[in-house]
Structure formats: structure tokens, C-alpha cells
Amino acid sequence: MKNEFKKHIASLGVLIVFGLLATGSIDTDTPSGSNSTPTRPESSSNKESKSNKSIEDKKTKEAKAILAKRREEIEKIQAQAMEKEMAIEALKTEDAKRIKNAISDEEKRKRQEARTIELNEIIKNASESDDITKRDAYKELYEINNDLTFYKIKFEQYSRKVDEKNKNNEKPIITEKTTNNSLETPKSNYFVIEQKKINDMPNQTSIGIEAVVSGSITELVLSEILDKLYKEAKEYRGFKFNQGAPTHFLILLYNADKSNHQLKGGDMYIARLKKQGVKSEVEIEISKDKIAQLSLAPEDKFGFSEEKRKEISIEIVQCEDRAFAEAWQMYPLSKDGNDPNNEAQLQKQQEFYNKMKIKYKTEIWKKYNITKEQSDAITSEAMKKNWPSPSIK
């Protein structure tokens, strides 16, 4: 009996040891850690499948992490590019403001003086019968020097004369300058749309002229117009530095859109004359591609005339502008460039922009019953042919 008791005690000891060992083998990571069976609480098949699943999960997680990282990098690059674009735009605006501000009253006065002299020269050289030139010159003189009633009187006097001539069935007034390179080719007109002194500094006095050309546009015509404008620009005086004469020239010619006469900007010019410094040579650049595009007869595409396609392209650009403006409004950036929130805001802005752009574009596609590919084709055609863009508000 005593022996049996000892055996019970020993058995109990063994059971306790077994219990300890079993408890020690409980996996604390499994949710069923309190499982009465302390072995791994999964079936072999489950183990394998779970093992495979865990490998898959791991791979998926890794792939997702890589994707997220890439996406983050792309977004970062996009944001940086956007930031740069915005910075460039800001610089451009600042530059434009700076140029505007640079033209001080004193400079304006000097320019007025120079122009007055020039106009007086024009009047002097004009033939006696050329009342139109005189009238226009006096008109400009009166506008420049509005305190001088003399010019006003003269302007009114020549205006009356011109009116009288018109009444006598004389030829209509043509204000645009014309050039005719040969007897066979039709006339081309051009008019100067902007003529401004860009800079007047001790080492550089630059002048910029922008003109719109219409009619028959050929390389020869453009080079002639450039030459003519360059010669005219060379004659400008009244600058403070460099003996009052310009040293740098930039003349840009644009094509006048016949439909709306909308002016193109940036690198949309069809011809350019550049001279950088007194000693440098005149560089002329004429875009043959753009001239070729102008000569092409308009054709129908996707069931739309060229005019209609132009409208569509404008609407597409407008919808992009709208999406961009809304994105800016929705997620504005802090003026502090070092604000850490800006990056997140930019990301949100980009996402919102993309979302809204697609939304608005879809509306256009539905409106004109065109596909995305057709819309893209119209956009690239617009870029290729330098179609007018909507004016930036």
C-alpha cells in the first residue's frame, strides 16, 4: 500500500513535469494560445497551405511595399516637376512684373520724346497728298503729348481732309502694311502687335518686336518681313545706354488665325530673328514645318471640320485648366516653401486634378461623342498645328 502511494506520488510528479513541458510548448503568438494541445495548432495540410499562404502574403506585402515606394517616388517626382513648373510660372510672372516696373516714368518720357521726333520726321517726309499718314501721325502725337493742343488741331484738320477725300469716292484706307515678293504670289499682310524695349542697360539695350502675319506665308515672305522689321528696329533711338541705339534684337512673327485672330505666344512663332550684341550676327529661324502646316488644306476628321476640332481642343485645354484651378482651390499650398504639409497637399492636389480632369474630359467626350483616342488625336493635332489655346485667366 505504501509502495502504491509512492507510485501515485511519482506518477503525479511525472504528470506535473509533462504538464510543464506541454505548457512550455504553447505558442504565445497563436490566438489560440490556450489550446489544450500545445503542439502547433494546425493540421499538416493547413501548415503547408498556411506556410505557402504566408510566403505568398509576404511576397504580396513586399510587392505592395515596392509598389507603394515606387508610387511614392513617382508622386514625389510629379510633385517636384509641378513645383518646378509653378516656380517657373512664378518667375515668369515676376519677370514680367519686373520688366513692367523697370519701365519707369522717366524711360516712358524718353521714349515719348523719341517717338515724337520720329513722328515729326514721318510727317515731314510724307508727301503733301498723304493726309492719312499725317492724320495718323498727329493722332499718335496728340495721344503721346495730350497736353499739346497743337497736335489735336492738326489731327482734326487732317481727319477732316481724309473724310472729304473719302466722300469723293477715293480708295479705302489700308492700315496694314503689305509686302509683295513676286507678281504671281498673293500679298501678305503683317502688323506689329507689340514693340517694346525689353532692357536698357550699359552693356545691353535690347528691343523686342512681335508681329502677326497673314495672307500667303512663305519662307521668302517671312524673311522679307523680318528684314524689314529689323531695319526699322535698328533705327530706333532714344535709349539711355549704348549711344541710344539697340544692341540686341528679338523679332518674332506669328501666324494670324483667320478664324479668331488669336495670337499665339511662347514658342508658337513661325519665324524669329535674333541678334545678340553689336558684333554678333543676325540669326534667322523660320519654321518650315509650321509653314507647311499652314498650307495644308483643312480636312474633316472623326466627323468634324477643322474649325470644330479647334473648338474641341480648346474645350479640352479649358477642362484641364478648370481641373487644375479646382485642385489648387481644394488643396492650397502654404506660402512657406518649407512647410512639410505642402508635399502631402501637392499629392492630394495631383490626385484631385487627375480625377477632375478625367471627369471633365469624359463630359467633352460624351458631348461630342468621341473616344479618348480621338480626343488625344485632336489634342496632338492642335499642338502640331499650333491651334489657338484658350486665354489664361
User: Residue for cell digits 508727301?
Assistant: 127
Tell me the closest approach of the beta carbon of residue 49 to other proteins, in angstroms. Answer: 11
* Nearby residues of 160 by Cβ (< 8 Å), 6 or more positions away: none
Tell me the closest approach of the beta carbon of residue 29 to other proteins, in angstroms. Answer: 4
First to last CA, the chain: 107
- Counting contacts by CB under 8 A, is residue 3 touching other proteins? yes
Tell me the closest approach of the beta carbon of residue 17 to other proteins, in angstroms. Answer: 8
Inter-residue contact 221 to 261 (CB < 8 Å): no
130 φ/ψ angles, rounded to the nearest 5 degrees: -80, 70
Residues 91-110 that bind other proteins (CB under 8 A): none
Q: Nearer Cβ to other proteins, position 58 or 234?
A: 58
- Counting contacts by CB under 8 A, is residue 5 touching other proteins? no
Question: Using N-to-C axis directions, what is the helix angle for 105-125 and 131-144, rounded to 10°?
Answer: 160
Tell me the closest approach of the beta carbon of residue 65 to other proteins, in angstroms. Answer: 23
CA distances from 370 to 153, 205, 316, 364, 374 (A): 61, 51, 12, 8, 6
Between vectors from CA 211 to CA 210 and to CA 217, what angle results, nearest 5°? 135
Beta bridge partners of 252: 210, 272
Site string for other proteins, 243-282 (x = CB under 8 A): ----------------------------------------
Q: Nearer Cβ to other proteins, position 4 or 184?
A: 4
User: Which amino acid is it at 354?
Assistant: N
Beta bridge partners of 215: 188
Q: Nearer Cβ to other proteins, position 18 or 191?
A: 18
Q: Nearer Cβ to other proteins, position 37 or 166?
A: 37
Site string for other proteins, 195-234 (x = CB under 8 A): ----------------------------------------
Beta bridge partners of 190: 177, 213
Stretch that binds other proteins, among 5-13, 177-185, 219-227, 228-236 (CB under 8 A): 5-13
Stretch that binds other proteins, among 1-9, 59-67, 169-177, 184-192 (CB under 8 A): 1-9
* Nearby residues of 373 by Cβ (< 8 Å), 6 or more positions away: none
Three-class SS state of 264: coil
Q: What is the chain's alpha carbon radius of gyration, rounded to the nearest angstrom? A: 39
Three-class SS state of 224: helix
Inter-residue contact 291 to 217 (CB < 8 Å): yes
Inter-residue contact 180 to 187 (CB < 8 Å): yes
User: Which amino acid is it at 327?
Assistant: A
CA distances from 117 to 137, 138, 230, 393 (A): 11, 12, 20, 38
Tell me the closest approach of the beta carbon of residue 366 to other proteins, in angstroms. Answer: 55
Tell me the closest approach of the beta carbon of residue 361 to other proteins, in angstroms. Answer: 53
Q: Nearer Cβ to other proteins, position 18 or 150?
A: 18
* Grid coordinates of 349: 492636389
* Grid coordinates of 254: 506669328
Stretch that binds other proteins, among 13-21, 65-73, 176-184, 375-383 (CB under 8 A): 13-21
Q: Nearer Cβ to other proteins, position 5 or 366?
A: 5
Q: Nearer Cβ to other proteins, position 34 or 175?
A: 34
Among 6, 84, 160, 348, binds other proteins (CB under 8 A): 6
Tell me the closest approach of the beta carbon of residue 8 to other proteins, in angstroms. Answer: 7
Site string for other proteins, 15-54 (x = CB under 8 A): x--x--xxxxxxxxxxxx-xxxxxxxxxxxxxxx--x---
Q: Nearer Cβ to other proteins, position 50 or 115?
A: 50
Among 8, 261, 348, 367, binds other proteins (CB under 8 A): 8
How far is the C-alpha of 333 from the C-alpha of 86, rounded, in Å? 11
Q: How many residues does the chain have?
A: 393
Q: Nearer Cβ to other proteins, position 2 or 100?
A: 2
Q: Nearer Cβ to other proteins, position 12 or 88?
A: 12
Residues 289-348 that bind other proteins (CB under 8 A): none
Inter-residue contact 158 to 135 (CB < 8 Å): yes
Size of the site for other proteins (CB under 8 A): 38
For other proteins, the binding residues (CB under 8 A) are: 3-4, 6-8, 10-11, 14-15, 18, 21-32, 34-48, 51
